[in-house]
């Protein structure tokens, strides 16, 4: 038996498109000798489907798509799709062949933490099942089923171990089909789970995951095989669509193809896929693979643009590191020709920041426009002054500036059909050091899940290759430039201290007492916790944030506004 | 046994405040003869607690608060709080008396639809339990436990009926403690559940619910008793905090007190609480009680301001019905002295809209400022024109206007510490007929869960009493006034047709095929569905919306952005 392991990027709710793509993939894999095509969890409807599952006609749409696959598929295929049975909905696996289709698995463990809400929509299956095909027996598990011992929550049973115990020693390998989003912390955890399961069970674990970004969630793929007592072997390059051929008899990886569309541009992957090293157990912030994060964010940008029908983006360039990094990512993701930068200096902008912004654009051959906000700013100040009999002061005056810039960015977006990419980082978003309807705006937050120190780390890592972010940008003290001589450090603790607390709070899940017990300065902890609570309302109105950590602001962070 | 049924407004996460308030309430009820105080579901931590439940120290904080109550409480009290047992968390009920505290109930049915996510956080209890106190037996149920036959989902068992069957015929009444948010459709459904349960089981059902608004969710209270074959009797006025004394021996309602704080301003309620009529089974849109909706929205405004520490609001007054209605609600909720209106005419604003805005402010004695956007608008247009060599056109030019207004509103908000109340309605939010960072901004969306036709209905209903919204506002054709002669009807179907489709889609849950089957025009359905999908990204950045329907945009509406 030769498996075609398809690292597929389904579109949410586009059942027809997904079914057609899977047909193309299965039939392409068949041409290269595959006798079974394997697709990720919920590959027929995309992930996360959310309230789409409540739409009455989804069931019928899926049935029609499955029937169509039966008519055209050349080899049996395992696909992920919901199953509707006796008024219940399961997160299921279907066996689809020219003989018909049937339900062969139902997800047992349903995650309900972080970005996951599966119990909201699905019933738990009873057990994992062992399937037999071409004389080979394999245990079919769906994503979380493999995580009984390693998830963020305690599960009462381990459905994989249970099914193996019941099946005796005859199972050849474990198959896991997944829709598991990327996170910095998640990759080493996943590697650990695959490897430890293979070692414990004494048989290979074959893992097939979704790829592609879906708004905030980025799926890396990471289709791979774990052999007992060996390093995990990646079979498909991360963040790319494609399929790998894996021989279930010899346990050999044969070939890998990558493509943007299975029917169009199949290319054999020349990457020699290096085995990932060891079974890292993650310590927060330790696993910072700049290359991986860069790929993840580029995919996030590219797919969000593709899914929303756009090609071009616009970025407000301040001369600071955040917008510079976003510009670089946009250039990597979309090409310089699709990126426009707006430089919008005010009277408080330093010469350095404007000059550095221009230099950055020239370096990356990005078109830029200089739109001074002075005239608009003065007009607004004048109207308010005339009515109020006193000029706007302090925070009022400061906030008018980023809001005027937002107005220009949205005007550009409207006029030229470009999506405004937000440049806020996670540190700012956490403590509310940002202006609602100003720098917090945009269609997509690119680095909103990276702390300020991580944004620097990313830029520095790129620069070790060639100059991506000019050093004068990296060396300048962070400033919002909303009043003369303003520095971030006037209002915030030094970023390394701030980020350490935030990371322990957000990703680490520690509360006030926990943070103090861990040794953070009590006064600082109270101050940071207070800042975080007071700006929950701002985060409520943030654009979707590309998620690269185990806990990003957005659907994985659910705190009361009051 | 005399019950003090406490319609309590807990604050989310403020365990100490909640415990102190409950102590005051229990001891006040004791003074008036109560022998058992009953508090709503999760009254110790507030609802919905969300990720607060993940904070490590919450358990200890709750334990300390419970111990403190034991020391000071004069009568036994039933309170709602999480219980942590063997690594699991339950939505539980505690019996607290001077003898100590113990867990006496665990919620069995956990809702996971609409705004509810209880399986994310809680384990299901095994069963409802029958408690005995002062010779009376009562079955304790927690919110959804009473809804086994009537919820939006099918439950496998009815824990109330099961517990009654097990207890034989000796149970005197059923007690339900709830945290059930208000909705137009929910009130008659709740009445039906209380009444049908009392009638089917042949004993009274006593219902105690949270009150107070918590960001988007408004809790009406509605503490009441249902007797078999009789109309439901309300014991506390809706939307007010207080407690009712109910005699479990005679089944008589004795007295009701209302108060803003149990320790401070207890007043006997003079309202003669009229029994609610019949067991209305709801048909969407049929149950439109303007008085009730007005009270709900006023509570929503008042509590959100109180919880975020503010007193004053600012509203952008366009001369249209939406902002007029929001202004009236703000006046009702906060008093004229706390409301400021900004009139921000452009060259496209009609004389009528400005004059009507001024008239409205005078009618309600609301301070207003006229801040023409012309100067700022021209400055922005000029800067863009100079850079682009061509003036901004079409949608770009249109959108600059609401964004300039948003800039003024936020400047006012910053300078004078007033919260900007958003005036978007649900029809606009549904189809994206609104400008992001423009009229979609604000701290709280007041009427974002009312369709345009419902906004008119509300205004007309007020006007039948005295003039609240001048008739020229109600009679003017809806217009965004962003270009000469623009009317909503240029871009949208007539509101009655649009709203009928939206209501069947959003509250009714019909999908495209379902809408067509129901008889809506297929082309119009496709157009509306397409508009709804394309603006999911705008709704993602909306302020919290006061929820008054069974399905509001926000936490109850979860659709993919792509």
Question: pLDDT digit string (tens) for B246-265?
Answer: 999 999 999 999 999 988 88
Contact status, residue A10 vs residue A21, Cβ threshold 8 Å: yes
Nearest to B410 among A369, A414, A437 (CB): A437
Give one word for A202, left, alpha or beta, with left for phi > 0 and alpha for psi -120 to 50.
left
Q: Cβ contact (<8 Å) for B544 and A540?
A: yes
- Looking at the predicted structure, is the pLDDT value of residue A3 above 50? yes
- Looking at the predicted structure, is the pLDDT value of residue A284 above 60? no
A264 and A391 together in one domain: no
Contact status, residue A51 vs residue B559, Cβ threshold 8 Å: yes
Q: Cβ contact (<8 Å) for A559 and B52?
A: yes
Q: Cβ contact (<8 Å) for A541 and B537?
A: no
Residue A496 in domain: no
End-to-end CA distance of chain A: 58
Which one, of A119, A49, A115, lies nearest residue A80 by Cα? A49
In this prediction, residue A282 carries a pLDDT of 31
Residues of B with a catalytic annotation lie at: 41, 107, 143
- Which of B45, B111, B383, B482 should one mutate to test binding to chain A, selecting the residue with the greatest count of A CBs within 10 A? B383
Q: Which residue among the candidates A62, A128, A143, A201 is catalytic per the annotation?
A: A143
Q: Cβ contact (<8 Å) for A560 and B13?
A: yes
Q: Cβ contact (<8 Å) for A54 and B509?
A: yes
Which one, of A7, A44, A25, A12, lies nearest residue A222 by Cα? A7
- Site of tokens 């404007």: A354
pLDDT band at B282 (very low <50, low <70, confident <90, very high): very low
Residue B494 in domain: no
Residue A506 in domain: no
B256 and B390 together in one domain: no
The CATH code of the domain that includes A298 is 3.40.50.620
A224 and A302 together in one domain: no
Q: What is the mean pLDDT of residues A22-39?
A: 97
A380 and A250 together in one domain: no
Structure tokens at B330: 């703000």
Return all residues near A337 (Cβ < 8 A) that are at least 6 apart: none
Q: Domain total for chain B?
A: 2
Q: Cβ contact (<8 Å) for A383 and B403?
A: no
Give the ipTM.
0.94
Q: Quick check: helix, strand or coil at residue A352?
A: helix
Question: Rounded to 10 degrees, what is the CA torsion of B499, B152, A50, B156?
Answer: -170
Query: Cα–Cα distance between B464 and B473 in angstroms, integer?
Result: 15
Residue B504 in domain: no
Residue B552 in domain: no
Query: Cα–Cα distance between A221 and A207 in angstroms, integer?
Result: 9
Beta-carbon-side half-sphere exposure of residue B17 (alpha carbons within 13 Å): 11
Query: Cα–Cα distance between A553 and A429 in angstroms, integer?
Result: 8
A105 and A180 together in one domain: yes
Contact status, residue A46 vs residue A11, Cβ threshold 8 Å: yes
Query: Cα–Cα distance between A220 and A299 in angstroms, integer?
Result: 9
B343 and B465 together in one domain: yes
Flag whether the pTM goes above 0.90: yes
Chain B CB contacts of A383 below 8 Å: 371-373, 375-376, 408
A298 and A232 together in one domain: no
Chain A CB contacts of B400 below 8 Å: 407, 411
What percentage of chain B reaches a pLDDT higher than 90?
A: 92
- Of all residues in chain A, the one with the smallest CA distance to B393 is A415
Return all residues near A244 (Cβ < 8 A) that are at least 6 apart: A4, A5, A7, A223, A235, A236, A253, A254, A255, A256, A257
A310 and A258 together in one domain: no
Nearest to A511 among B50, B57, B119 (CB): B57
DSSP B546: -
Nearest to A372 among B308, B383, B443 (CB): B383
In this prediction, residue A207 carries a pLDDT of 98
Find the domain containing A185 and state its range.
2-268
Residue B497 in domain: no
Query: Cα–Cα distance between B182 and B218 in angstroms, integer?
Result: 6
Residue A493 in domain: no
Interface contacts A/B by beta carbons within 8 Å: 220
DSSP A471: H
Q: Cβ contact (<8 Å) for B215 and A373?
A: no
- Site of tokens 């099961």: B162
B239 and B365 together in one domain: no
The CATH code of the domain that includes B85 is 3.60.110.10
In this prediction, residue B266 carries a pLDDT of 87
In this prediction, residue B271 carries a pLDDT of 54
- Of all residues in chain A, the one with the smallest CA distance to B435 is A410
- Of all residues in chain A, the one with the smallest CA distance to B386 is A371
Query: How big is chain B by its Cα radius of gyration, in Å?
Result: 25
Nearest to A396 among B52, B380, B414 (CB): B414
Return all residues near A34 (Cβ < 8 A) that are at least 6 apart: A2, A3, A4, A26, A75, A243, A245
Query: Cα–Cα distance between B539 and B556 in angstroms, integer?
Result: 12
- Looking at the predicted structure, is the pLDDT value of residue B449 above 60? yes
Nearest to B307 among A48, A408, A562 (CB): A562
Which one, of A36, A90, A173, A181, lies nearest residue A160 by Cα? A173
b/e code A311-344 from CB counts within 10 Å (16+ = b): ebbbbbbbbbbbbbbbbbbbbbbbeeebbbbbbb
Q: Which residue among the candidates A62, A107, A507, A535 is catalytic per the annotation?
A: A107
A42 and A174 together in one domain: yes
A143 among known catalytic residues? yes
Query: Cα–Cα distance between A515 and A508 in angstroms, integer?
Result: 9
Which one, of B241, B231, B320, B310, lies nearest residue B278 by Cα? B231
B232 and B112 together in one domain: yes
- List the helix and strand counts (H, then E) for chain B: 18, 21
Query: Cα–Cα distance between A75 and A29 in angstroms, integer?
Result: 9
- Of all residues in chain B, the one with the smallest CA distance to A59 is B511
- Looking at the predicted structure, is the pLDDT value of residue B281 above 90? no
Contact status, residue B72 vs residue B65, Cβ threshold 8 Å: no
pLDDT band at A276 (very low <50, low <70, confident <90, very high): very low
Residue B510 in domain: no
B255 and B320 together in one domain: no
- Of all residues in chain A, the one with the smallest CA distance to B404 is A407
- Looking at the predicted structure, is the pLDDT value of residue B275 above 80? no
Q: Cβ contact (<8 Å) for B407 and A407?
A: yes
Q: Cβ contact (<8 Å) for A406 and B437?
A: yes
At A350, phi and psi to the nearest 5? Answer: -80, 155
Q: Nearest CA to CA, how far is B534 from chain A (Å)?
A: 8
Structure tokens at B173: 């009444």
pLDDT band at B367 (very low <50, low <70, confident <90, very high): very high
Among candidate residues A268, A300, A317, the one where a domain is terminated: A268
Contact status, residue B279 vs residue B192, Cβ threshold 8 Å: yes
């Amino acid at each position: 038996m030769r498996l075609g392991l398809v690292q597929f990027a389904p579109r949410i709710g586009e059942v027809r498109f997904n079914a057609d793509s899977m047909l193309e993939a299965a039939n392409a894999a068949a041409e290269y000798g595959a006798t079974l095509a394997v697709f990720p969890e919920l590959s027929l409807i995309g992930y996360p489907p959310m309230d789409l599952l409540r739409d009455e006609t989804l069931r019928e749409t899926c049935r029609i798509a499955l029937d169509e696959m039966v008519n055209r598929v050349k080899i049996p295929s395992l696909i992920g799709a919901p199953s509707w049975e006796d008024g219940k909905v399961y997160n299921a696996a279907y066996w689809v062949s020219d003989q018909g289709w049937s339900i062969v698995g139902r997800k047992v463990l349903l995650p309900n933490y972080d970005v996951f809400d599966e119990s909201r929509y699905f019933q738990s299956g009873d057990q994992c099942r062992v399937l037999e095909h071409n004389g080979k027996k394999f245990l079919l598990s769906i994503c979380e089923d493999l995580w009984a011992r390693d998830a963020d929550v305690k599960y009462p049973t381990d459905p994989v171990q249970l099914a193996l115990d019941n099946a005796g020693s005859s199972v050849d390998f474990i198959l896991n089909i997944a829709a598991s989003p990327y996170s910095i912390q998640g990759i080493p955890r996943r590697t650990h789970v695959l490897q430890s399961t293979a070692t414990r069970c004494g048989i290979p674990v074959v893992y097939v995951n979704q790829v592609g970004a879906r708004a905030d969630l980025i799926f890396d793929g990471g289709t791979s095989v774990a052999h007992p007592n060996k390093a995990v072997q990646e079979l498909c390059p991360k963040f790319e669509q494609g399929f790998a051929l894996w021989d279930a008899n010899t346990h050999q990886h044969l070939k890998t193809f990558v493509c943007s569309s299975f029917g169009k541009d199949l290319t054999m992957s020349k990457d020699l896929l290096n085995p990932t090293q060891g079974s890292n157990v993650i310590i927060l912030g330790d696993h910072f693979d700049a290359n991986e994060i860069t790929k993840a964010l580029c995919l996030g940008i590219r797919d969000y643009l593709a899914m929303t029908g756009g090609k071009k983006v616009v970025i407000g360039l301040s001369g600071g590191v955040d917008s510079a990094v976003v510009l670089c990512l946009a250039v990597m993701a979309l090409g310089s020709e699709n990126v426009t930068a707006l430089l919008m200096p005010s009277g408080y902008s330093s010469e350095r920041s404007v000059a550095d912004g221009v230099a950055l654009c020239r370096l990356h051959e990005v078109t830029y426009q200089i739109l001074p906000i002075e005239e608009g700013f003065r007009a607004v100040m004048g109207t308010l002054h005339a009515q109020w009999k006193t000029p706007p002061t302090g925070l009022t005056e400061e906030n008018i500036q980023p809001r005027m810039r937002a107005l220009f960015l949205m005007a550009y977006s409207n006029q030229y059909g470009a999506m405004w990419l937000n440049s806020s980082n996670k540190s700012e978003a956490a403590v509310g050091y940002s202006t609602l309807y100003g720098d917090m705006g945009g269609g997509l937050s690119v680095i909103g899940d990276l702390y300020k120190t991580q944004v620097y780390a990313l830029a520095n890592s790129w620069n070790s290759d060639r100059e991506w972010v000019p050093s004068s940008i990296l060396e300048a003290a962070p400033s919002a430039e909303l009043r003369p001589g303003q520095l971030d450090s006037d209002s915030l603790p030094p970023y390394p201290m701030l980020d350490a607390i935030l990371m322990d709070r957000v990703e680490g899940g520690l509360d006030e007492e926990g943070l103090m017990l861990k040794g953070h300065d009590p006064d600082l902890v109270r101050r940071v916790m207070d800042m975080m609570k007071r700006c929950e309302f701002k985060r409520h109105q943030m654009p979707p944030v590309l998620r690269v950590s185990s806990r990003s602001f957005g659907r994985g962070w659910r705190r009361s506004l009051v």
